[in-house]
């Protein structure tokens, strides 16, 4: 079946009334959490995982994806009007967008942000549509050694780029790998890290860890920062529509931002922050009015907003085709797939073709929905900023508790949730990224299985990982990523001494 036929099949799934409703709910929730500082898409998806276990997989995943890219739209509203990025990827938007708002141009800033997000999201979805089958074709050539090497590469890149320190990222990863080992080993029947606690013999639910780290931990952290930041909401004045000159100055940045953001999303490069800064730097260099940067240049909003939306769609390429999450929210989405007994990767395109293409088709639908929802309803989104933070955070904790308890009606799960939540708060407080924990927990057991199968094929010969071409290249890349920072520092010191 060619790509067009599969995409049409996907639209048949995405355009059912039920899935359209899930897409709409996802877009609304995503925009809302993007607007609210401290409540990101990872927290929201984690929070919804326990209560969507009875929902059909396609509907739930379409909703989760809507939350992910909807948050990218919503984050710009807070950045422009409040100068507080709702999402880390909208930091650059706050720099120029808030200056535009102070000059009475909040409307054009919000408009270029929403239209740019639509343009970037649509172009990136086209890229996702045509690039995914090519990556799947490559993935089908992988055997156990290649998969093991790919997962080792994923462990290293995610730990190295999702956080400020590689060492802290690796510590988080090893914590996740250890949690993934809890329970009875399927091959030997031995209990591992269960500490004679009967509830741990079946392992720990990924959902409990995700909700604990991202919902409870992040909420406690956000609550601890309450009142430390001075927030001033800029009033909407003037027209919301862009003038002809605004359109001319925005079009180029939209396209360039998309071309920068999408490739960054497809590789483990630390999420959408880097492409937004690159886009900002490029627009500052190319702009005919560089003196306006720092005072409210529309190019400084249009380019970075396009970059962060294209990047968020790009993360779906490695997630769907290879099962590799390249951002924190993608790691939570991976756990959502596993909740339904699905493992993203090349085989998912063959075994659940309708679901995967339905999800991809929902991106086209969701982008149109977000464009329609964002600008006309901007007054409603601004009202969300008036919700008292203490009540909001308390509501999140109550919701998280009820969701986790509802899964198995187990008091032990609630105790575990808050123990992990406290751990998540301490990790956030001291700069340890949480996403590698989820990646290690989910991919660790899979990597162990692939390693065992590889050694079984080679009769215990470890050289199988370097004698297979693809596997050797992937492991070589892993070593390079680990050594590159030290090598760069060494060369810098050497240059300094010689000069």
| pLDDT the model gives residue 406 | 76
DSSP category for residue 345: S
The token pair that represents 441 in the structure block: 């927990």
Q: Which of 63, 54, 417, 426 is nearest to 205 (CA)?
A: 417
Nearest to 370 by CA among 32, 10, 9: 32
Neighbours of 181 (CB within 10 A): 17
What is the number of alpha carbons within 13 Å of residue 421 lying toward its C-beta? 26
Neighbours of 197 (CB within 10 A): 11
Task: Measure the CA–CA gap between 105 and 102, rounded to whole angstroms.
Answer: 7
Residue 444 in tokens? 């660790």
pLDDT at position 364: 92
Task: Give the domain range for residue 210.
Answer: 3-496
Which CA distances in Å does 31 have to 76, 169, 271, 494?
10, 29, 19, 49
- When divided into structural domains, the chain yields a total of 1
CB neighbourhood size of 17 (10 A): 7
pLDDT at site 405: 82
- Give pTM, 2 decimals: 0.80
Residue 67 Cα distances to 60, 341, 367, angstroms? 11, 21, 12
CA dihedral 161, 162, 167, 170 (to 10 degrees): -110
CB-facing half-sphere around the CA of 479: CA atoms within 13 A = 7
pLDDT at 94: 77
DSSP 327: S
Q: Where are the beta strands (DSSP E) in 188-320?
A: 191-192
Q: What is the pLDDT of residue 234?
A: 64
One pLDDT digit (tens) per residue for the chain, 499 residues: 588 888 899 899 999 999 999 999 988 888 887 777 666 677 777 777 777 777 888 888 898 888 887 877 777 777 787 776 656 667 778 778 888 888 888 888 888 888 888 899 899 999 999 998 888 888 888 888 988 888 888 888 777 666 667 788 889 889 999 998 888 887 778 888 888 888 888 888 877 888 888 888 888 888 888 766 666 666 666 667 788 888 889 999 999 999 998 888 887 655 667 788 888 888 888 888 888 888 888 888 899 889 988 888 888 888 888 888 877 778 888 888 888 888 888 888 888 888 899 999 999 998 888 888 877 777 777 777 777 878 888 888 887 888 788 777 888 888 998 999 999 999 988 888 888 888 888 888 888 888 999 999 888 888 889 888 888 988 998 888 778 777 877 777 777 777 6
Taking the alpha carbons of 39, 44, 50, 51 in that order, is the dihedral positive or negative?
positive
At residue 272, the 3 state secondary structure works out as coil
């Amino acid at each position: 079946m060619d790509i067009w036929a599969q995409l049409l099949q996907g639209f048949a799934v995405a355009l059912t009334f039920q899935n359209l409703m899930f897409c709409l709910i996802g877009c609304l929730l995503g925009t809302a959490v993007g607007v609210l500082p401290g409540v990101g898409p990872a927290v929201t998806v984690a929070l919804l995982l326990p209560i969507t276990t009875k929902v059909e997989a396609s509907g739930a995943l379409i909703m989760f994806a809507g939350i992910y890219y909807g948050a990218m739209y919503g984050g710009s509203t807070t950045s422009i009007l409040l100068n507080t990025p709702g999402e880390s990827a909208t930091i650059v938007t706050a720099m120029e967008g808030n200056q535009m708002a102070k000059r009475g141009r909040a409307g054009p800033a919000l408009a270029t942000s929403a239209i740019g997000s639509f343009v970037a999201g649509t172009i990136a979805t086209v890229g996702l549509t045509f690039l995914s089958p090519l990556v799947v074709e490559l993935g089908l050539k992988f055997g156990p050694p290649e998969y093991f090497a790919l997962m080792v590469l994923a462990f290293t890149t995610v730990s190295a780029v999702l956080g400020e320190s590689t060492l802290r990222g690796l510590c988080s990863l090893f914590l996740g790998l250890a949690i993934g080992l809890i329970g009875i080993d399927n091959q030997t029947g031995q209990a591992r890290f269960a500490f004679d606690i009967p509830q741990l013999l079946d392992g720990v639910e990924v959902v409990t860890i995700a909700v604990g780290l991202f919902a409870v931990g992040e909420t406690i952290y956000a609550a601890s920062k309450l009142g430390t930041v001075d927030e001033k909401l800029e009033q909407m004045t003037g027209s919301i529509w862009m003038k002809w000159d605004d359109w001319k100055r925005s079009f180029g940045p939209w396209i360039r931002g998309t071309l920068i953001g999408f490739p960054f999303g497809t590789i483990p490069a630390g999420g959408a922050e880097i492409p937004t800064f690159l886009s900002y730097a490029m627009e500052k260099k190319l702009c005919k009015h560089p003196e306006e940067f720092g005072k409210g240049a529309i190019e400084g909003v249009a380019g970075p907003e396009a970059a962060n939306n294209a990047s968020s769609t790009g993360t779906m390429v490695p997630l769907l085709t290879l099962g590799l999450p390249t951002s924190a929210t993608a790691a939570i989405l991976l756990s959502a797939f596993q909740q339904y007994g699905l493992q993203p990767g090349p085989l998912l395109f063959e075994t659940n073709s309708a679901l995967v293409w339905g999800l991809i088709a929902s991106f086209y639908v969701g982008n149109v929905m977000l464009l329609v929802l964002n600008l006309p309803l901007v007054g409603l989104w601004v009202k969300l900023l008036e919700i008292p933070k203490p009540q909001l955070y308390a509501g999140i904790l109550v919701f998280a508790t009820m969701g986790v308890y509802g899964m198995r009606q187990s008091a032990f799960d609630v105790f575990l949730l808050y123990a992990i939540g406290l751990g998540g708060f301490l990790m956030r407080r001291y700069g340890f990224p949480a996403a590698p924990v989820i990646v290690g927990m989910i991919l660790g057991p899979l990597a162990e299985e692939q390693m065992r199968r590889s050694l079984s094929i080679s009769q215990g010969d470890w050289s199988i990982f370097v004698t297979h071409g693809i596997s050797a290249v992937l492991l070589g890349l892993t070593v390079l990523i680990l050594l590159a920072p030290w090598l760069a520092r060494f060369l810098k010191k050497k240059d300094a001494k010689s000069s």
